[in-house]
């Protein structure tokens, strides 16, 4: 080291590697989105434990709940339809639920461990940071969904490319919206414990009210209202629609077990349903960006 | 006269009812190493936060590298490097991944990245450890990696907020070797905060900050000269008699400190010959010390920096509570 310092061309070496940082702009922001996104993937890849633990719950639901309740709940289903098949779309949604929220929680970690500061003092727009984070969470969560998707055969769901692409698209949409929700919360809640407690409190009701485990028709009025208010309903229903339309079920039976979301008797089209989720994701993302623009 | 690289005018920062910074003004010239010296909670970190665009001033203005810290944030951000007192590294990434992340956020051109990364990592002696996860680094290595990262995009100003706090003395001095080495190699202005007197000695100029105000600002030599008096310590055959005689013949108050007769006097080295000539007690040893920055801090604030820390602890708690309520 010391020899290098005193050598006459040390200064020239410094000169040669003069760094010129370009003007801020879209290209710069895209590069920032990309690296924030990639960091999520790297960290996920290094964190095998998290990969395994977040799969435990959906697999429990599919195998244990699906099999155990199957003998009981099976009677309500049309002949030949396994209860596991019925809850499969809901379990898919569940598999991304926890991972997406956990990805957003990493912002709270980043704040506690100081890394958030490294991002906040960078000369890039706040939206690039938030979008990168949300895309990262969405990708990681969808990976988890893919594992459950690979178990389709167990639930007697066919390995069909069209079906898989549809479901993957829907999982991406769901996990992006969930991560945006989590990032928005992380903008307000600075402590990890509070964040975890609050999300736990929200996530389970969201899941149970989404119709992931039961059909949306024939419910008591109060539950009907609550299920229609749950945003998760509007993604679980299109996913069930996609899965069940690839099974050989008579139309009447299909309507009985996958009735779609209705508002006062009017069936909400799949497109509108997905559009509402996308709109919600965009709004949450916007709020998150505004929150990260604020300074002390 | 070149344009100052940091220009602060009448800066005020209030958190709720607590005024953390109470109207400070100063300039830092290009290439200077400028230090804020003061106890914890004096307003050093708050000022740095404002200069780094992490906080907005309540009143007043500040320009860094020629850009306004409120209106031209991105331009300021592009021209500064930061090392905070708490680590801001991702422990789960390797040293190299941390630098790459930084390079992408700051838009360091890809062609320049590899050589520049090598240069900054060599500078702090971490090139060989770049593939290791940061979690395996020691505290000193982490701080060095942060310095390297702060330099990666060739900023014009490097902010070091308490760069050696929490490190052992040996690591502290090695960090300073890196910083001094860096001044040789890079055309850079360094702005640092510290509450260690010995670190402040490394600065070209020091601003002494207490209770959110700058009480003195000058080179370490001038500050020490401004105290005026040197500290003289003698040991004699009869210290008690010597103290009385010093009082009677010279009008100076002496007392026993560290087992020696101690007193302060202007131009100590000129005084000592008179002392030898006129004091009837035999002098066995003598030492004359120039004022330290401790004496400087004492003379401007009326307390030692350690006393100040003790009282500031209470202020800080009040500050934190106000801060939380304000949120």
From chain A residues 131-190, the ones with a CB under 8 A of any chain B CB are: none
- Determine the pLDDT at residue A13: 43
Is A4 a domain residue? no
A43 touches B: beta carbon within 8 Å? yes
- Tell me whether strands B33-37 and B189-194 are parallel, antiparallel or unpaired: parallel
Q: Quick one: how far is CA A67 from the chain centroid?
A: 26
Partner residue opposite A122 with nearest CB, options B55, B105, B184? B105
Q: What is the pLDDT of residues B131-150, one digit of tens each?
A: 999 999 999 999 999 999 99
B273 touches A: beta carbon within 8 Å? no
In this prediction the pTM is: 0.82
- Determine the pLDDT at residue B63: 96
Which of A18, A22, A123, A194 to mutate to test binding with chain B, by most B CBs within 10 Å of its CB?
A123
Is A125 a domain residue? yes
Q: Say what the ipTM of the complex is.
A: 0.84
Q: Where does the pLDDT of residue B186 fall: very low under 50, low under 70, confident under 90, or very high at 90 and above? A: confident
- Determine the pLDDT at residue A15: 46
* Interface contact A19-B97, CB threshold 8 A: no
- Determine the pLDDT at residue B207: 94
> CA of A295: which chain B residue's CA is closest?
B55
Q: What is the pLDDT of residues A225-253, one digit of tens each?
A: 999 999 999 999 999 999 988 888 887 87
* Interface contact B185-A5, CB threshold 8 A: yes
A252 touches B: beta carbon within 8 Å? no
Averaged pLDDT, B229-246? 87
Give the least confident one: A145-159, B3-17, B31-45, B254-268. Answer: B254-268
Structure-token pair, residue B116: 């520049």
Is A272 a domain residue? yes
Partner residue opposite B54 with nearest CB, options A21, A31, A295? A295
Averaged pLDDT, A73-95? 84
> Alpha-carbon torsion A131, A137, A140, A143, what sign?
negative
> Alpha-carbon torsion B122, B125, B128, B130, what sign?
negative
Number of residue pairs across A and B with CB atoms under 8 Å? 115
| pLDDT higher at A24 or B178 | B178
Q: Where does the pLDDT of residue B311 fall: very low under 50, low under 70, confident under 90, or very high at 90 and above? A: low
Average predicted confidence (pLDDT) for chain A? 86
CA distance linking residue B17 with residue B108, whole number of Å: 42
User: Nearest-5° angle of CA B218, CA B76, CA B40?
Assistant: 45
Is A78 a domain residue? yes
Q: What is the pLDDT of residues A16-66, one digit of tens each?
A: 466 776 676 888 899 999 999 999 999 888 888 878 888 888 888 888 888
From chain A residues 69-128, the ones with a CB under 8 A of any chain B CB are: 110, 113-115, 117-124
Is A17 a domain residue? no
- Determine the pLDDT at residue A214: 86
> Alpha-carbon torsion B173, B196, B148, A131, what sign?
positive
Q: What is the pLDDT of residues A183-198, one digit of tens each?
A: 999 888 888 899 989 8
Residue B316 predicted with pLDDT over 60: no
What domain range is A98 assigned to?
A: 29-293
* Interface contact B104-A35, CB threshold 8 A: yes
Average predicted confidence (pLDDT) for chain B? 87
Averaged pLDDT, B198-221? 91
B256 touches A: beta carbon within 8 Å? no
Q: How many domains does chain A have?
A: 1
Q: Where does the pLDDT of residue B310 fall: very low under 50, low under 70, confident under 90, or very high at 90 and above? A: low
Averaged pLDDT, B215-219? 93
Structure-token pair, residue A158: 């066919």
Cβ atoms of A212 and A94 closer than 8 Å:
yes
- Determine the pLDDT at residue B1: 56
Is A224 a domain residue? yes
Residue B312 predicted with pLDDT over 70: no
DSSP B3: P
Q: Which of A261-265, B12-16, B39-43, B266-270 is the most confident on average?
A: B12-16
DSSP A250: -
B84 touches A: beta carbon within 8 Å? yes
Is A3 a domain residue? no
A85: phi then psi, degrees, rounded to nearest 5: -65, -40
Q: Which residues of B touch A43 (CB under 8 A)?
A: 90, 92-93
| pLDDT higher at A159 or A187 | A159
Q: Percent of chain B having pLDDT more than 70?
A: 92
CA distance linking residue B61 with residue B27, whole number of Å: 12
Averaged pLDDT, A178-185? 92
Q: Percent of chain A having pLDDT more than 70?
A: 92
Listed residue (B175, B152, B18, B19) closest to B97, CA to CA: B152
Is A155 a domain residue? yes
| pLDDT higher at B295 or B61 | B61
Q: Is A295 in a helix, a strand, or coil?
A: coil
Averaged pLDDT, B218-231? 86
B183 touches A: beta carbon within 8 Å? no
Residue A171 predicted with pLDDT over 80: yes
Q: Where are the beta strands (DSSP E) in B145-212?
A: 157-161, 189-194, 205-210
DSSP A76: G
Cβ atoms of B206 and B293 closer than 8 Å:
yes
Q: Is B58 in a helix, a strand, or coil?
A: coil
CA distance B313 to chain A (A): 22
- Determine the pLDDT at residue A223: 93
**How many alpha carbons lie under 13 Å from residue B76 in its C-beta half-sphere?**
24
A295: phi then psi, degrees, rounded to nearest 5: -120, 170
CA distance A69 to chain B (A): 42
CA distance linking residue B64 with residue B275, whole number of Å: 52
Averaged pLDDT, A8-22? 52
* Residue-range domains of chain B with CATH: 6-223 (3.40.50.300), 229-290 (3.30.70.260)
Residue B26 predicted with pLDDT over 90: yes
CA distance linking residue A23 with residue B255, whole number of Å: 64
- 3-state percent breakdown (helix, strand, coil) of chain B, nearest 5: 45, 25, 30
> Alpha-carbon torsion B116, B122, B124, B129, what sign?
positive
Q: B163-168 long-range CB contacts below 8 Å, 24 or more apart?
A: B163/B83, B163/B85, B163/B192, B163/B194, B164/B194, B164/B196, B164/B199, B165/B85, B166/B85, B166/B139, B167/B139, B167/B140, B167/B143, B168/B140
Place of tokens 């930061």: B82
Averaged pLDDT, B228-254? 87
Q: Where does the pLDDT of residue B49 fall: very low under 50, low under 70, confident under 90, or very high at 90 and above? A: very high
- Determine the pLDDT at residue A169: 96
B314: phi then psi, degrees, rounded to nearest 5: -70, -40
Averaged pLDDT, B68-83? 93
A196 touches B: beta carbon within 8 Å? no
B7 touches A: beta carbon within 8 Å? no
CA distance A113 to chain B (A): 7
B52 touches A: beta carbon within 8 Å? yes
Cβ atoms of A199 and A165 closer than 8 Å:
no
Residue A158 predicted with pLDDT over 60: yes
CA distance linking residue B196 with residue B37, whole number of Å: 8
- Determine the pLDDT at residue A10: 41
* Interface contact B108-A123, CB threshold 8 A: no
Averaged pLDDT, A91-115? 88
């Amino acid at each position: 080291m010391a020899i290098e310092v005193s050598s006459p061309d040390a200064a020239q070496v410094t000169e040669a590697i003069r760094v010129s940082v370009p003007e801020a702009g879209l290209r710069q922001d895209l590069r920032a989105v990309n690296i924030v996104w990639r960091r999520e993937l790297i960290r996920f890849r290094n964190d095998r434990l998290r990969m395994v633990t977040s799969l435990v719950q959906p697999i429990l639901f599919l195998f244990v709940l699906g099999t155990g309740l199957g003998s009981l709940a099976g009677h309500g289903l049309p002949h030949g339809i396994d209860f596991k098949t019925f809850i499969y779309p809901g379990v898919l949604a569940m598999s991304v639920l926890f991972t997406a929220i956990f990805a957003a929680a990493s912002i709270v970690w980043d704040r506690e461990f100081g890394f958030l500061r490294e991002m906040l003092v960078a000369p890039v727009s706040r939206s690039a940071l938030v979008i990168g984070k949300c895309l990262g969470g969405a990708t990681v969560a969808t990976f988890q969904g893919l594992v459950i998707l690979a178990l389709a055969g167990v639930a007697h769901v066919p390995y069909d490319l069209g079906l898989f692409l549809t479901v993957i698209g829907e999982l991406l949409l769901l996990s992006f919206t969930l991560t945006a929700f989590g990032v928005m919360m992380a903008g307000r809640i600075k402590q990890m414990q509070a964040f975890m407690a609050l999300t736990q409190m929200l996530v389970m009701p969201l899941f149970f009210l989404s119709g992931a485990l039961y059909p949306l028709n024939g419910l008591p009025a109060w539950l009907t209202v609550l299920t229609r208010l749950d945003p998760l309903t509007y993604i679980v229903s299109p996913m069930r629609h996609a899965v069940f339309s690839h099974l050989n079920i008579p139309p009447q039976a299909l309507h009985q077990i996958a009735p779609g979301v209705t508002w006062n008797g009017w069936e909400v089209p799949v497109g509108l349903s997905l559009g509402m989720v996308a709109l919600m994701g965009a709004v949450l993302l916007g709020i998150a960006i505004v929150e990260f623009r604020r300074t002390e | 006269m070149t344009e100052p690289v940091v220009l602060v005018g009448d800066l005020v920062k209030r958190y709720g009812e607590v005024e953390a910074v109470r109207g400070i003004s100063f300039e830092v010239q290009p290439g200077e190493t400028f230090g804020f010296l003061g106890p914890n909670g004096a307003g050093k970190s708050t000022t740095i936060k404002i200069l780094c665009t992490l906080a907005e001033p309540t009143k007043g203005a500040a320009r860094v590298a020629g850009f306004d810290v409120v209106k031209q944030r991105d331009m300021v951000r592009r021209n500064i490097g930061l090392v905070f007192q708490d680590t801001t590294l991702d422990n789960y990434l390797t040293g190299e991944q941390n630098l790459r992340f930084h390079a992408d956020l700051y838009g360091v051109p890809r062609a320049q990245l590899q050589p520049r990364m090598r240069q900054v990592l060599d500078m702090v002696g971490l090139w060989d450890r770049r593939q290791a996860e940061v979690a395996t680094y020691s505290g000193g290595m982490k701080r060095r990696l942060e310095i390297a990262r702060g330099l990666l995009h060739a900023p014009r100003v490097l902010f070091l907020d308490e760069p050696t706090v929490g490190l052992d003395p040996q690591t502290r001095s090695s960090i300073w070797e890196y910083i001094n080495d860096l001044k040789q190699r890079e055309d850079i202005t360094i702005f640092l905060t510290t509450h260690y007197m010995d670190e402040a000695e490394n600065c070209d100029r020091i601003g002494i900050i207490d209770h959110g105000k700058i009480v003195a600002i000058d080179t370490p030599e001038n500050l020490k000269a401004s105290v005026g008096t040197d500290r003289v310590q003698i040991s004699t055959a009869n210290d008690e008699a010597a103290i009385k005689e010093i009082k009677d013949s010279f009008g100076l108050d002496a007392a026993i400190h560290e087992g020696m007769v101690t007193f302060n006097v202007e131009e100590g080295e000129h005084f000592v010959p008179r002392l030898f000539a006129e004091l009837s007690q035999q002098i066995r040893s003598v030492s004359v010390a120039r004022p330290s920055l401790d004496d400087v801090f004492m003379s401007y604030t009326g307390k030692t920096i350690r006393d100040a820390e003790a009282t500031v602890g209470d202020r800080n708690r009040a500050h934190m509570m106000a801060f939380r309520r304000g949120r």
